[in-house]
Amino acid sequence: MSVVTKLDLKELEEGRKYLMSGSVGHALPLLLVNGKGAVVKDISGKEYIDCTSQAWTYNVGFSHPKVIKAAIEQIKQLSHCRTSFETIPKLRLLKKLGELAPGRLKKISFCLHGSVANEGALKLAMINKPDAQKFLTLYDNYSGRTLATIAATWPYHPISRRFSPFMHNFIRVPNAYCYRCPFKVEYPGCDLLCAEFIKTTLEKGAEPVAALIMEPFQASGGMIEFPEGYLKRVREICDECGILLIYDEIQTAFGRLGEMFAAELYDVLPDILTFGKAIAGGFPLAGVMLREDLKPYDPAVHSFTFSHFPVSLAAACATLDVLKEENLLECARKTGDYIIKRLLEMKEKYELIGDVRGRGLMIGIELVRNKKTKEPAYEEVLRFEKEALKRGVIFGVSKFLGMGNVVKIKPPLVINEEEVERVLQVFEDLAKSLTPR
């Protein structure tokens, strides 16, 4: 027990008994104690390079000294403040975010969770489209797990299906998942049939739709980057049909793709944009950006006790500074390009690697049992994750409960060359050993 010596392990064991199952809890057999940069340590002192950035939050790395300093200084001053009052970090962060916000997305609100931000975005769409109750969302979308957002999240497991009917206002349409096209056609010859299908759905639907809510790069559902032209056509269709476009950028904002926002990378702007995860360098914070000419919330429509948590707001100011000072967007682009190049070389060698896709440090590798049939390698992905832990690398896995077949490489943007080589070595060893013979 080299890391934590004073802790009573028995006390910890006893604590574990009381954890309600299902909130993921201890699905992975590690008790984490501290982290630095791209590396996290467990209670035995073993180190892991974390390609999940702990749910894609630590873009600036674990325990970045500037972020920690800003948070501690704020705690000493004021750790909590009702949303009714202004605080220094709130106004400072609003200025920074307002200047960064793409296009006219200049009206900003805060909360603590991505799911709550998405609920806010849905409310804003309903305020601005007062006659519409319905929403469109894409297959494989992930928008959270509150009662409203779970209905916009991929629902393949009966557990989720139990809750999604609570919000019966979501209509799912096929996504542009070219590796496994839902329409079984091929890009670019398909002429973006999936985008046109959105238009048909809107034209033939019986009830008015307020908005399409979508991730501009689908993450949890399978690391799906859409083909060129898709987002542009979707934007046009939303305009043609008079509905709003909501980007859920909770995973993509703040550098993961090598740009500050996916909206900038793909040069297609939404009307409402939600952010979360990486904004505060490991502290809880999320929010919504609204087009400045649209109507904001009515008073008290989206206010929660801890929404304007000053410590997170101060940490977020420092995080945005670090992203800039350390040139982390460019780091993400360069490191990501290198990792993708190496993975594409591996793809030529191993049957298990069906597809490699991504941008910046948002990389997914789809594992298959057979490149031709594309039979998903579900069990292999779970073994991949487990074996990698033994070798000191935490890989992400799409979906959960064995329903995903995509390995995710999304480390902190500060990951160094040596760590990258180690990740690639472990990846290749496992691709070799798990490739069907």
Ligand X SMILES: Cc1ncc(COP(=O)(O)O)c(C=O)c1O
Least separation in angstroms between CB 145 and ligand X: 7
Nearer to ligand X, 248 or 380 (CB): 248
Least separation in angstroms between CB 122 and ligand X: 12
Least separation in angstroms between CB 312 and ligand X: 12
Least separation in angstroms between CB 407 and ligand X: 17
Nearer to ligand X, 142 or 154 (CB): 142
Residue 102 to residues 281, 290, 402, Cα–Cα distance (Å): 21, 10, 37
Pairing between β-strand 353-359 and β-strand 286-290 as defined by DSSP bridges: unpaired
Which amino acid, residue 324?
A: K
Least separation in angstroms between CB 131 and ligand X: 27
Nearer to ligand X, 246 or 420 (CB): 246
Nearer to ligand X, 202 or 286 (CB): 286
Nearer to ligand X, 114 or 120 (CB): 114
Least separation in angstroms between CB 245 and ligand X: 15
How far apart, in whole angstroms, are the C-alpha atoms of residue 332 and residue 255? 7
Nearer to ligand X, 224 or 290 (CB): 224
Least separation in angstroms between CB 137 and ligand X: 11
Nearer to ligand X, 114 or 364 (CB): 114
Positions touching ligand X (CB under 6 A) are 55, 113-115, 118, 142-144, 215, 219-220, 248, 250-251, 276, 286
Instruction: Give Rg (Cα) of the chain.
Output: 22
Least separation in angstroms between CB 170 and ligand X: 14
At which residue do the structure tokens 């201890």 appear?
A: 26
Nearer to ligand X, 126 or 246 (CB): 246
Least separation in angstroms between CB 206 and ligand X: 28
Residue 261 token pair: 């926002």
The residue whose Cβ lies closest to ligand X is 114
Nearer to ligand X, 274 or 350 (CB): 274
